[in-house]
Amino acid sequence: MLENFREAFDGIWSHKLRSALTMLGIIIGIASIIAISSTIMGTNEQIKQNLVGAGNNTVEVSLYQGDYVLDPSYQQVPEYVTPLDPSILPEILKIKQVEDASLFYRRDAYGMIWYGAEGLNQGSVYGVDEHFMSVNGYVIRSGRGFLPEDFTGFRKVALIDRTVSETLFMGKNPVNKTIEIMSEPYVVVGEFTQNSAFTPTITSISDYFTYTDHSGGKVLIPASTWPALFAYDQPSSLVVRAGSTDDMTEAGKQTAAILNKTLTGSGDVTYKSKDLLEQAKKLQELSSATNRQLIWIASISLLVGGIGVMNIMLVSVTERTPEIGLKKALGARKRKISAQFLTEAGVLTCIGGILGVLVGIGLAYMVSRVSGVPIFISWYIVAATVIFSFVVGLFFGAVPAVQAARLNPIDALRRE
């Protein structure tokens, strides 16, 4: 076997230009596949990050009327929908995929939050419980967080994020300042932020609506003070933190199923999870389906390269006919002759595959630099393409190898 590899390298080296031209089709095909697959995987990861966020793994479960979130500001809540009780949280936490959960209320903040003459025109106001900050991965940037006494004492205090702070306070320290929420005074006790930065990429109107609450800012108040501002019987929502990004869909579905058991009537209003992971998967499938077509087109280069390998190996068999005849006359078996030519074809395409991988990685980085699209190099795909290129050599080298093995030694020795 080692002798076959040595002869294969000698044959390739002795015809360097011819071998390089033969490998060109393989190099182009492998390079195209590596570049396209790296771009696909990078794009899919970007889609996932843009939708799901920076690893917070949170899923919101809210009331939906049909396919849209039910907004009590504009829509009537059916009588069979009752406010969720905190006693349901232990049952939610029994779900295998759920690590933590929190109940909250939410309203659009348009026209209801003011600091002097400055108003908040985008974003949301949340009535939250003690777990909301930890579930969502929020940390205090300045000031303090909520205290147990804030909830039990019905204190009118608020936490705001950076967006609200810049909108209402123009960069000044917001702590201990008083804002008005529905004409009720609330003291800002702290400013919070996400424990991992996440800036959504908004390129369409659908992206805007997806990220309205991210881009518009958040104001958090104790849920115990919520009824003084809004309705006493407004239904609440629930946010759960899954153990991993892949668990988000199942965590949302099981949580929604438990909450739907609390509904005492039937209608088109049900609890559903805001499944961003599922949206990401749909976009990834659309992206991958488009790019798979490009991979098939790129694979044509491999077919052309394989035909080139077959052609050059047939030429090699013709050139080395006397050598083959001499080996067979000295007792070489057909299997030995065919293995020699198969090895040479496999080595030729394997070298082409390795060069194609290097060119493909370089091409992927060039595309990323020019277009700004991220890339992801999978070494499993790299290894698979190199092995596949070797298999291509064996497949297209089979015909020349069989032809060489079937040569009659006497006729081979007579040929000049």
Return per-residue pLDDT of the chain as tens, 416 residues: 566 666 666 767 777 787 888 888 888 888 888 887 787 777 666 665 555 554 568 888 888 887 777 877 677 777 778 778 889 999 999 999 999 999 999 888 888 899 988 888 888 999 999 999 999 889 999 999 999 999 999 999 999 999 899 999 987 899 999 999 998 999 999 999 987 654 444 444 444 444 444 456 899 999 999 988 886 667 788 999 988 777 888 888 899 999 988 887 777 788 888 765 555 555 555 555 656 666 676 677 777 788 888 888 887 777 777 777 777 677 777 777 777 778 888 888 888 889 988 998 888 888 888 877 777 777 877 888 888 888 888 888 887 777 777 776 666 566 55
C-alpha count within 13 angstroms, C-beta hemisphere, residue 51? 20
> Residue 341: which of 398, 387, 391 has the closest Cα?
398
Can you point out the beta strands (E) in 122-217?
A: 124-128, 138-143, 157-161, 178-181, 184-194
Report the amino acid identity of residue 293: Q
- Partners of 216 in the beta sheet? none
pTM of the model: 0.59
- Confidence at residue 212, expressed as pLDDT on a 0 to 100 scale: 46
